[in-house]
A and B are shown apart, each in its own frame.
Chain A
């Protein structure tokens, strides 16, 4: 069997041997033998001094994102444990006085963890969520929102990606944590965009008041309706915007007003879950104004090639659109 595994790893099998080795792997009774054969390959690959491919920074970004979400969940769990802790403490004091026996078992970590909801929308899809306080959240493509099943003294949610919030008016603060900083409100409508892959952050306010606190600092900015805070290379800036261009996605429309070509392409990629590539830097100078509502991606590409001096092609195998100057 050892030789067969080696032949499988090095792609040296004959057709008959392929069935033999895969039938062996498929049978759960052979687990420990399979584990041993995997361990030999493992030892060989781990001791490799110069392994290719060298790295994959996009994958590492995804891993960092997941770890960050894990940390947020842990932090929210701690808050819940703490409030329970106070209630249990009072009962416990009584119990201790009466019986003098310590019987408190380990807190049910799993049960508390289950109280945290995480919702992820895949690329090309959107979803609408109603939170326990009846606030409404529209979650854009490729975004993740997590929130406790029950809100307590505050309303903490965690966002990776883009979401539009219609927060129910309520005295307890509503807090959106992102990788770039926290947005705090009481009752209002606003859009937060905090995808991790393009290191871009925006919060756009439609109604009410929100406060934004930059991560790891004490800097806090308050936004008025119609204002947007945006992350730039040098820091955060606040500007006046027409909010509909930033919030129309929740109604199934993409509005563009002199949108620079790279941003336009990025939005299309997320909206339609496709990959669009171009290498000509001249294209970066183009911009686009208009509305996309019911169009398919092919119609949109056709429209771009009519409106601008470009042509496009689609590779069926890799599912990538490539745009070139005419």
Chain B
């Protein structure tokens, strides 16, 4: 077993490809140790649900083994491992989106935290208010929040862009998000009352 430090070193693909083509499966372990964490994170960001990811990764590695004779260069390997992972994940996501239960699960895992307690109808009632509320945030907090919620940047990307620490970004986002969530809850409640009174 490799130590964690070694796993971060990119494996020598030329050597591994040649060994695989020769029916030698020994380098599969090095490939696995390097690619497993990266494939896992990629799959989790795409599928949202962790269950089932290992089965997909197993299929990726078995397919690499089955097609070892056709993989003759680093470039073919790179495009092969991407294509096979991509197709398996996309098929899986599409079929899960067609199932109400898994679709709802994916939905709740891909919403920003301030919306987590709203359903779609409640959201439609309050969405006009969101921009107004964001405008009341302090300048820096607002800048960070917009980069996250409008451009979809990760906390790390925002930190790099603004030259501040990831911790600071997280702090501001949690603050803004908590503020919005609180306000939206009240609004949702009020509009609900309003509908109720005038029915």
Interface residues of A (CB under 8 A from B): 3-16, 18-19, 22, 25-26, 34-35, 38-39, 41-42, 45-46, 48-57, 59-60, 62-64, 66-67, 70-71
Q: List 10 A-B contacts (CB under 8 A).
A: A6-B152, A13-B112, A15-B107, A22-B103, A22-B107, A41-B46, A48-B41, A50-B8, A52-B41, A64-B25
Select B90's contact among A19, A38, A48, beta carbons within 8 Å. Answer: A38
Complex Cα distance, B124 from A56, in Å, reads 43
Complex Cα distance, B37 from A285, in Å, reads 38
Do the beta carbons of B109 and A11 come within 8 Å of each other? yes
Select B123's contact among A6, A14, A70, beta carbons within 8 Å. Answer: A14
Q: Are A54 and B37 also in contact (CB < 8 A) when A16-B120, A64-B28 are? A: yes
Do the beta carbons of B97 and A22 come within 8 Å of each other? yes
Given A14-B115, A15-B115, 8 additional A-B pairs, CB 8 A? A4-B152, A6-B151, A15-B111, A38-B46, A51-B41, A53-B36, A55-B7, A66-B65
Question: Of B55-63, B135-143, B189-197, which stretch is located at the interface?
Answer: B55-63
A27 to chain B, nearest CB (A): 10
A9 to chain B, nearest CB (A): 5
Complex Cα distance, B46 from A8, in Å, reads 8
Select B28's contact among A4, A6, A18, A67, beta carbons within 8 Å. Answer: A67
Select A51's contact among B25, B38, B115, B120, beta carbons within 8 Å. Answer: B38
Which chain B residues lie closer than 8 Å to A35 at the CB level?
86
Do the beta carbons of B36 and A42 come within 8 Å of each other? no
Do the beta carbons of B58 and A62 come within 8 Å of each other? yes
Select A3's contact among B29, B58, B85, B151, beta carbons within 8 Å. Answer: B151
With both beta carbons as reference points, the residue of chain B lying nearest to A50 in the complex is identified as: B8
Which chain B residues lie closer than 8 Å to A59 at the CB level?
36, 54, 57-58
With both beta carbons as reference points, the residue of chain A lying nearest to B112 in the complex is identified as: A12
Do the beta carbons of B38 and A9 come within 8 Å of each other? no
Complex Cα distance, B111 from A18, in Å, reads 7
Per-residue CB contact flags for chain B residues 4-42 toward chain A (1 = under 8 Å, else 0) read: 100110000000000000010100110011001110111
Complex Cα distance, B48 from A12, in Å, reads 12
Which chain B residues lie closer than 8 Å to A12 at the CB level?
112, 148-149, 152
Select A67's contact among B7, B25, B109, beta carbons within 8 Å. Answer: B25
Q: Across the A-B interface, how many residue pairs have beta carbons closer than 8 Å?
A: 144
Which chain B residues lie closer than 8 Å to A57 at the CB level?
1
Interface residue count on the B side (C-beta < 8 Å): 57
Complex Cα distance, B107 from A14, in Å, reads 10
Which chain A residues lie closer than 8 Å to B38 at the CB level?
45-46, 48, 51
A320 to chain B, nearest CB (A): 15
Which chain A residues lie closer than 8 Å to B152 at the CB level?
3-10, 12
B166 at the interface (CB under 8 A from A): no
Do the beta carbons of A70 and B65 come within 8 Å of each other? yes
B174 to chain A, nearest CB (A): 13
Which chain A residues lie closer than 8 Å to B37 at the CB level?
48, 51-55
Complex Cα distance, B153 from A111, in Å, reads 51
A225 to chain B, nearest CB (A): 37
Do the beta carbons of A18 and B58 come within 8 Å of each other? no
Residue of A15, A46, A66 with most partner-chain B CB within 10 A: A15
B154 at the interface (CB under 8 A from A): yes
Do the beta carbons of B107 and A18 come within 8 Å of each other? yes
Do the beta carbons of A11 and B112 come within 8 Å of each other? yes
Do the beta carbons of A26 and B97 come within 8 Å of each other? yes
A59 to chain B, nearest CB (A): 5
B178 at the interface (CB under 8 A from A): no
Which chain A residues lie closer than 8 Å to B175 at the CB level?
none
Select B4's contact among A16, A34, A54, A66, beta carbons within 8 Å. Answer: A54
Do the beta carbons of B40 and A53 come within 8 Å of each other? yes
Complex Cα distance, B61 from A4, in Å, reads 30
Do the beta carbons of A55 and B33 come within 8 Å of each other? yes
Complex Cα distance, B95 from A234, in Å, reads 49
Do the beta carbons of B86 and A42 come within 8 Å of each other? yes
Which chain B residues lie closer than 8 Å to A46 at the CB level?
38, 42
Which chain B residues lie closer than 8 Å to A3 at the CB level?
150-152
Complex Cα distance, B148 from A67, in Å, reads 43
Do the beta carbons of B123 and A15 come within 8 Å of each other? yes
Do the beta carbons of B111 and A14 come within 8 Å of each other? yes
Which chain A residues lie closer than 8 Å to B7 at the CB level?
54-55
Do the beta carbons of B82 and A39 come within 8 Å of each other? yes
B127 at the interface (CB under 8 A from A): yes
Do the beta carbons of A60 and B32 come within 8 Å of each other? yes
